[in-house]
Structure 1
Amino acid sequence: LSTLAVSVPQSVPKTNDTFVFPARGNERSHFSGYAEGKKALDGKVNIDGVALENWTLHDLRRTLATNLGRRQVLPHVIEHILNHKA
C-alpha cells in the first residue's frame, strides 16, 4: 500500500471499541450489510447506460488481479494485495 493508504488507518486512535470501517449509525460495531450495499451498487453500475447484471463483489477482486498482472505487477505482490498470503 502507499504511504497515504497506510497512514489513514494508523491515524485512527486505538481503542478496543473503534473500527476503521464502523457500521452505519453504530460506531461500536463493524461494517455489515454487504447485501444491501450490493443492491445499491447494482442500481448504479452500468456500461453505456445499460445495467450490468449478474456480477458479484468478488468480480472486483478478479478484475483487480487481472489488471495488476497486465501491468506486470509480480504475482507474489498481487497475492499479498488480495490477502492470499500471510
Structure 2
Amino acid sequence: MSATPAVYPRRAAGMGVSDHPDGLVIHQHNPPRVHHLDRTAALVFELCSGRLTTDEITAHIGARLGRSAPPREEVAETIARFHAEGILEARS
C-alpha cells in the first residue's frame, strides 16, 4: 500500500489581502470576488504558504487553538473550499 503524497497548499497569486477585526478579507481579481474569512479560516489561509503540508497546517491550527486533537476535518474542508474558490493552488 503506498502512502498518499504530501500536498503543500499555496495561496494563489494576484490577490489583495487585508486585515479585518474578525479575520481577513481576500480580494480576488480573476474572477473578481471578495472573500471574508473568520479567524480560524484566516489562520489556515496564512499557513498556506506552499512550505507546509496539510498535516503540518492541521497540527499548527490545533496547537494555536489549544485543542487536544488536531482539527483534521475542519482544516481539510477549509482547504478544499479555498481550492474550489480559486484562492489556493496546490503543489506536491
User: Does the pair score TM above 0.5?
Assistant: no
The structure where strand makes up a greater share of residues is 2
Classify the TM-score, shorter chain. Answer: under 0.3
Between Structure 1 and Structure 2, the one with more helix by share is 1
TM-score (norm 1): 0.27
